[in-house]
Amino acid sequence: MPRTEAVCAAAAGDTIKVQWDSSTHPGPITHFLLGPIGDATLESGVGSWVKIDEQSYVDGQWANEIMEAVDMTHEFTLPSNLESGDYLVCLFSNFWRCGNPLNERAG
* More confident of the two residues 14 and 5: 14
Among 4-13, 31-40, 42-51, 95-104, which stretch is predicted with the lowest mean pLDDT?
Answer: 95-104
pLDDT above 90 for 106: no
Report how far apart the first and last C-alpha atoms of the chain are (Å, whole number). Answer: 51
pLDDT above 60 for 2: no
Contact 30, 74 (CB under 8 A): no
Give pLDDT tens digits for 13-49: 999 998 888 766 788 888 999 888 888 888 888 888 9
| pLDDT confidence bin for 3, thresholds 50/70/90 | low
Establish how many alpha carbons lie within 13 A of residue 61's alpha carbon, considering only the half-sphere containing its beta carbon: 9
